[in-house]
Chain A
Amino acid sequence: MNCTEVEKIMDAYADGEVSDIDCNQVSKHIQDCKHCHEKWENSVKYKSTILSILKKCCGEDVKFNIKEMVLKSEVY
């Protein structure tokens, strides 16, 4: 694979959505190519940043209230 081919599937590679053959070829390419390796690191950084900032929790009180409400409801 060359840089253009790798770049086309870089996002899918970062998402774990490429075939085993493509995965091996991209892995090999980014080991040898500084430019694509940097792009790969940027993709990883993007995903970890988005995940860490956008992840929120609803709180134990909300969990408790919903559980109580549903299990004591007459919907069954």
Chain B
Amino acid sequence: MEEETGQRTELTKVEKDKIFEEEFLPHIDALYNFGSYLIHDDDLAKDLLQETYMRAYRFINYYEKGTNAKAWLIRILKNTFINDYRKTSKQPIRVDLEETYQQVDDSAEGENRNVDLRQEVYNNLVGDEIMNAVNSLPVDYRLIILLCDVEGFKYDEIAKIIDVPIGTVRSRLHRARNMLKEKLSTYAKSKGYKTQE
């Protein structure tokens, strides 16, 4: 169990409840948000949320009080999702990531190209289209956009949450954003908006 790492501190029930209420519960919306984009089913997302909090409380002796509770909880949620929910969730068919990375790497412009959209395009895109575009990304790309652009984690925090080097965070985030902007650009063009200069 990955939560069982670090130094164990013996806590009383009162101390555990205090940490749970003061440090864990304030992040419940962030965890729900993150889980719902991973799992694509509101009932399952709430089950995942509940399981995450049960597990966090069970392993609360391994949490270091006053540290980054949000990152610790997101890590538990991610592991719970991978171990228990991934097979049953309604996520779109997963693209083989290694294959996707290779395709991007093979492109002459792959790493350094920046897909850009005009500001007016963002103003004209509707929320559903943006959500659909995010949901259609391979799960590891979706995950990194949620961690950085929605939850506001720093690159080094993301690296710890998803267990990859910080350089991989940078490159994966760059590719994920480009892929998302490509999808939004295609949609905007279909609606007749000029997307690039």
Query: Which chain A residues have a beta carbon within 8 Å of chain B's beta carbons?
Result: 7-8, 10-12, 15-17, 39, 41-42, 45-47, 49-51, 53-58, 62-63, 65-67, 69-71, 73, 75-76
Contact = CB atoms under 8 A, between A and B. Distances in A.
* Interface size of B as a range: 35 or more
B57 A73 contact: yes
A39 to B, nearest CB: 6
Interface stretch (B64-72, B90-98, B149-157): B149-157
Contacts of A47: 149
Contacts of A57: 29, 32-33
B117 A46 contact: yes
19 contacts: A12-B155, A15-B148, A15-B154, A15-B155, A51-B149, A54-B130, A54-B146, A55-B150, A56-B29, A56-B32, A57-B33, A62-B28, A62-B32, A62-B46, A66-B53, A67-B21, A70-B54, A71-B21, A75-B54
Given A42-B116, A49-B130, A69-B54, A76 B13 contact: yes
A46 B58 contact: no
A12 B148 CA distance: 11
Given A53-B130, A55-B150, A62-B49, A41 B119 contact: yes
B187 to A, nearest CB: 13
A66 B32 CA distance: 12
Nearest to B24: A70
B122 interface: yes
Given A8-B112, A63-B28, A67-B21, A17 B49 contact: no
A35 to B, nearest CB: 9
